[in-house]
Structure formats: C-alpha cells, structure tokens
Chains A and B, each alone.
Chain A
Amino acid sequence: MSEQKTSKQSGAVQTTGHAWDGDIQEFNNPLPRWWLWSFYATVLFSVIYWVLFPAWPVGKTYTKGVMNDITYELNGKKVTTHWNTRALLMRDMQQGEDAVKQRKYMQKVASLSFSQVLANPEMMDFTRKVGKVLFADNCAACHGSGGQGKVGLFPNLVDDDWLWGGSISDIQATITHGRQGFMPSFRTAFTKKQLDDVVDYVLSLSGHKVDAARAARGKRIFNGQTGGCYYCHTKAGTGMKSAGSANLTDSIWTVADVNGQRDLEGKRAEVRRVILNGISRKMPAWKDRLSPVEIKLLSLYVYDLGGGKK
C-alpha cells in the first residue's frame, strides 16, 4: 500500500534525493506560502525594532533606538532618555493618569491638618480607601487585617486602649519612628512568695477577686523598691504613655492573655509568666519605607478604626 502511494505521489512532489536502506525516501515539500510570508514579516519587524528600540551591543554600550524618547523629571529637572522600562516607570509615576489623580488627593491631605481631613467627608473617603490598602500591605501582617492585633504579640488597634498614646499625632509618631517596648525580667528579683503577691495585686487592679492579704503585700512590693513596678506603671497602675507601659487597671490585656483564661489560676499563671520573662517587643520604624503623606494617611486610618483618642 505504502509503495503504491509513494510511486503515485513521486511524480507530483520532489524528493530530497536521499535514500536510506535502499528505498526510504524523503519528500521535499515547499513551505506553505502564508508561513513563508509571515516569516519574512517577522524579519522585517525585527529590523524596524532594532531601529526604534535599544537593541544591539556596541563595545561597552549599545544602540539606544530613535523616535522613542521618554521625558521625566529628576530632581526638578526634565530628563529625556532613550526608551527603557525604568524611565517608563518614572514617567508613569509622574504623569500616569492614576498617579496624577492620586497625587492631587495626596497633596491635599498633606496640606490639611488632621482635624480638617477628619471634617472633610471626601478626604476621609480617600483616606479610608488608600489607608486600607496601605494598612493591608504594611501593618496587617502583625496587627491583623482589621487591626484586631494578636494577644501576646501585637497590640489591638481597634480598642481605645493605647500603650503609646491614641491621638493622631501619637499614632503618627509611632508609625514614623517605630517603638521599642521593654519590661525587664523579674526572675531573679522576686522570691516565689513575692511573685505570687505581686501577681495577685496586679490582678486586683482590674477588679479580679484575689487573696486580699497577698494583694496587700503585693501592693507594697509594686510601689516599693523591691519591685519598683510603679516606675513605669505608676502607683495607680495606669501606665505611662512615654514608656509605653500598660494600664493594668482596665481589663484589656495585650501581652498576658488574662481574658483568655477561665479560672483564676490560669490568669495568675499568665501574669506570672510575663513578670518572670519580661517583655521585649519592637515595632519597626516606617519613615524610610513610607512617605510622610502615606504615614499621615495611615495615622488617620488607624485613628479612624474606632479607638482613636482626642
């Protein structure tokens, strides 16, 4: 059958003239016209491309292309350069439709005071939209996508309890420069009995029913030289903004998971753990990563999450 077909077609189509094993031959079909012309078109395209775009290496540099220059601003001066993706980006950042639109709002936010932005519904709408994206990119990894935080590690930003202050300017300072939260370990400072006493006093501050005698002794340690807890937490136990020390009198706990414990022993264990181990927490500074306007927007956004303070 195959022999028959070959002999039938051999007249119509040329063979390459090769023969293997005596009689295996190879057709020499011409390429389809459409294919051939497409091929020539790509060759022509590449020649045009070489002229218009950076293409050929020449010694230590390369041909830069013509009729394709990109103009953007660098340090206040106009720079015109050959086509390249980095210059393209600069142009997009400076002149792109979205960038221009966003910049107009950004500049307005920068020029307004916090209270002016808060009073302006259009600006607050912008703040919430941009702030949400900035928060998701930069803050949500620690503080949670809704700002709910993570007990024991990262503070909740939605409640009205603030370690470093909850006014917009406090929030702005926190984001800009970062914070270093620190409480020393009291592992060697307290005897076991002293520790139990301080734990009960600390819990009594937020209204827990504890052993009164223990708490009374704990109070003396807390406010005396042995513990010296009052240096940072104050004698009333309300904490200090300047030290980032926690208010122990409200029922909001950021490091010791007291509210997550069912019974008093569990709560005591949590407080004891924190006093024994101390705390060292760091919030990174964002001034090198975000622009001042972005930080301003984020401050407003965090303030607006619900817990902001006057």
Chain B
Amino acid sequence: MKFKHESIETNSGLLIILTLIVISIGGLVEIVPLFFIDETVEDVKTADGRDAIRPYTPLEIRGRDIYIREGCYLCHSQMIRPFRDEMLRYGHYSLAAESKYDHPFQWGSKRTGPDLARVGGKYSNEWHVAHLINPRSVVPASIMPNYPWLMKNDLKYADITARMRALKKVGVPYSETDAEYKANVKRFGKKVADMLNIHYAERNLLAQAEKGNYDGDRSRLTEMDALVAYLQVLGTMVDFKQYGDGYFSKFR
C-alpha cells in the first residue's frame, strides 16, 4: 500500500496515535537517558560509609503530607540552584540525591517565599511554631498566610503504615520483611533502619514526637509537631564538610 497523507488525515484514531508518538520523542530523548547515566543521582555517604540520604521517618512523612496539603510548595521551592548568589544565601546547591525519596518531589518553580531546601536547623522549633501560627508575629514584613489550625488539629496517624506501604511501592526502602530490614541495617545503620520499619511506624512516630516536642506542647500531638519535624530535617542529611567544595561537580 502506498503511503498517502490523506490516509492519516482522514483517520482520526491513527492521527492521534502518530501525534502522541511524535510529541513524546522530545521528552523521551531528554528523560530516558537519565535513568541509565551513572552520575544522575549522586552517591552520598556518611563518614562511616552508610547512605547519607535516608527516607523520611513516619512523623516526617505526615509533616510532608501537611506541607503538600497546605500548598506550601506554591510559594516555597526546595531547590537551591548552582549559582553564587543562591549558595551565599541558602547554602550548598541541592543534590539530586537529596530528593530521591521524595514522591512527588517539592522542587517547585516559584519563590514567593524563600527556598526551604536547607531550612532544617536554621531556626528553632519555637520560631517555626510562632511563625506558622502568625508569620507577622516574628517577621513583620511577611506576606505568608496564618496557619493557626496546625496547632489546633490533632495529628491523624492511624493510616501511617498504609502511607508507608504506598511509598514503598514506588521505591522508597521502608522495610516489611526481615530481609528488607536487614538490608536497611546494612545500608543506613540500625538506628535509621529501625525508623524505616513499617511494623513499628506508629510507635516510632509517637516516640519521635515525644522526644522532639516540636510544637512545645507535650500534652498533645498536633499537626504542628509533624510539620516542624519535617521542616527541621530538610537539607540536613548530607554533611558537606566531609566533601570538599566542588566535589559534586564531577557528577555533572
């Protein structure tokens, strides 16, 4: 059969399929090789040879859920780009490895507020609590909305194991079987591996909230506890002092 333009243009099903193939080429050419190139996600270790980047703890997962629920990403990015001005203001540029367990990632593209990729440890818990309840109580010029309900809402965590299983399905190494747990011990060390055990999720969540007392109110477990726990871990997993300035250039 001789190819005729007309046979495509008069057959809408075929036209749709061929159009989809043509427009997906650009995306496929740019994205697919990244899955095969060794340097795409940097290999970052701690001083004792463990994986530096760990999945979030149960409490941090819930905090992250609240971060997404409240739409924080609409105004805050979590991506420090490799420019001098960003490095001076926010710290070391973000590594691909640092968001490898983020589903979905929170890189963002809009900075109405500052970047949060390395906000962990920058401010005290008390500051975060005061700031989230009413940003203008500490930063008079802020245009961020108030989030007072975070302190009023009890944190719901009954479904935490289901959430962890869902993340496990997309590749986050939470452990369910003994073999998975042992692999995690080898990979992250026992302390972290214990936190990634789905069977102890609820216990771990409560223990971290009790120990951290992120919202300053020991009598209750609030959404504020979870969100502040999440904010305080952002960008803190890699010890950049261990690597010289410029070490990560070789991964690009």
Contact = CB atoms under 8 A, between A and B. Distances in A.
B138 A92 contact: no
Nearest to A294: B88
Given A57-B36, A138-B122, A282-B126, A90 B138 contact: no
Interface string A62-103: 100000000011110001010011111110110010110000
Interface residues of B, number: 42
Chain A CB within 10 Å, residue with most, of B6, B37, B138, B247: B138
A79 B127 CA distance: 42
Contacts of A73: 246
Given A74-B246, A93-B245, A153-B138, A284 B124 contact: yes
A60 B249 contact: no
Interface residues of A, number: 42
Nearest to B240: A288
Interface in B220-251: 241, 244-251
Nearest to A88: B82
Contacts of A98: 84
A86 B137 contact: no
Contact of A137 (B38, B89, B247): B89
B182 to A, nearest CB: 29
A137 B90 CA distance: 8
Interface string A117-158: 000000000000000000001101110110000100110000
A87 B37 contact: no
B85 to A, nearest CB: 9
Contact of B126 (A18, A87, A92, A153): A153
A86 B127 contact: no
Interface of B: 5-6, 9, 33, 36-39, 81-84, 87, 89, 91, 93, 118, 121-127, 130-131, 137-141, 216, 241, 244-252
Given A92-B83, A282-B125, 13 more contacts: A73-B246, A75-B244, A79-B246, A85-B81, A85-B82, A86-B248, A88-B82, A89-B82, A140-B139, A141-B127, A280-B216, A284-B121, A289-B118
Interface of A: 16, 18, 57, 59-62, 72-75, 79, 81, 84-90, 92-93, 96, 98-99, 137-138, 140-142, 144-145, 150, 153-154, 280-284, 288-289
